Chains A and B, each alone.
Chain A
């Protein structure tokens, strides 16, 4: 079965690339919080819950929204849209934030809105809530970006008719170092014609995901 990457998004350092187009660039490297806020605002995503998310969810959410802007989910059953994401550091940045709230016995105020984000799959929940995706979903951990793992997992979902479309990618944040890559995968025929973009779909393969990831 032929599957295609009909759009992709890269978020890293000081820039954002969507379908080979540089859509955001800052000369100076910003702190992650300022950077992602600037990308969110420029992307006109308009979703106030964004501000309540932890850093890793903001990263994954923005990378997902920018891919989804380039594609149409019309005609797809919400239960047949999957989300498969991965990273290396799980929710470590937020784990450390939660840990700070319980370090001191005299200032012991664990915060539910921090704690809830100490799971890597919460970003999947945020993406699903915004877009009403209800299909297969999983968060995988690997030491570094593993295109083969993602490809095989997602490929199986299509192969056995579990999904008709899937958001797939890597959303890594550790300290102020971050790197996100999302791709929208569909069967042949479900291309991004409606968005009217000139991007030519790539075959969904581990090799092509590595090519996208190594984009400069």
Chain B
């Protein structure tokens, strides 16, 4: 009976058609714009083919943005996984069922916040004179000023800490749930062999969870691409270009500074190609 139904066609085709149109039109159009020389201020345009791309590779600010993006990706992904595994294991070890539920609820809160809200919350907290997060430093040093967001060496880490605050805590909940799904026997066996607590996790439970943890890291890598809101609110890419990621630079080229839409689009196209290729390859490996 199931086989003869037209349901798959009527349910799938409209949705997939709409998704295809909604995603392919902007994607293809982004490539078209990247091959022209459109600017927001002037209505006319002509085809310049690949000269936008050629210019990009000579643009030192673009190369800087690539480097900042790579740094951002590595810092946030690694720190998120470390925090998540650390706190997940801690909850698994020392918290009873009720306490676990309580912590889980607390740890989900930051990730639900709009990125803009999270960015504001921490921008206030990091304020050198009146911030709550810099207060301990002022207290200990007797009023010295520490301004993490306006120092080139710390700004990226300060913004990244907000990202980890949101995702690391959330992933800790997932790590805990994953640990809870494991069968108890291997853990018992390791305990009988006098393995220490950390050894049990390092050599038994975490290796058993390798596949879901890698998937989790994959998700974080995708979500880390969306750094724009945090950086836009907290530093605007500054100080200088210390936190200027690719999407921030594309935005400021296209909208704030010069309105060079085509140039910005060329950047976006390069980002798109790089991410689609990287993540498709990673996904195939994760699935395999």
Partners in one complex: no
Residues of A within 8 A of B (CB): none
